[in-house]
Homo-oligomer: A and B are copies of this chain.
Amino acid sequence: MSYTLPEFLAHAIAMEQEAVDRYLELADMMEAHRNDAVSKVFRDMSHFSELHRDSIRERVGATELPKLKSWQYRWRTPPEVGGEEAFDYLLEAFNALKYARGNEMRSLKYYRSVAGESQDSEVKRLASEFAAEEREHVLALDEWLARTPRPSTTFADDPESMEPV
């Protein structure tokens, strides 16, 4: 896993863009269910991801980045859910927060492993910095999870949604 700087930046931008899009969807869903507090959390998370994406883009400037495959940056869909059930399954704030947490946790692990394994000092530095940002996201979601009622059905199948940061 030794990335060149353009490869690494391509991943980071794609991952931030993915987070922007998914958080907006989650915010819309929470809004539709009149959970304005959690909707606002997701809108804020989307906004932070947007700012981060833009600052990475600025850094990239005119450098051409490789085109990635979707499985290199996409969020996982909720586990054990097919078709329309996903919609019901995710209705509750607790599950939506856990869904987000599992995906943030994967980003965090990605950045940590790049920081640990890269041979390029600039990639190492940026990956550590981005890992610290992702850690903040996971901790923010944890705070919200702590104050959100736990529904009967949870994401027990996705270990990363509950793994310690």
Name A residues whose Cβ lies closer than 8 Å to a Cβ of B: 1, 3, 11, 21-22, 25, 28-29, 69-72, 74, 76-78, 81-87, 90, 106, 109-110, 113-114
Contacts and interface: CB of A to CB of B under 8 A. Distances in A.
Q: How many copies does the complex hold?
A: 2
B87 A109 contact: no
13 contacts: A3-B84, A11-B83, A21-B70, A22-B70, A25-B71, A69-B86, A70-B77, A71-B86, A72-B86, A82-B109, A83-B106, A83-B109, A83-B110
Contacts of A114: 83
B113 A83 contact: yes
A29 B86 CA distance: 30
A161 to B, nearest CB: 14
A84 B73 CA distance: 9
Given A71-B90, A74-B74, A78-B71, A83 B1 contact: yes
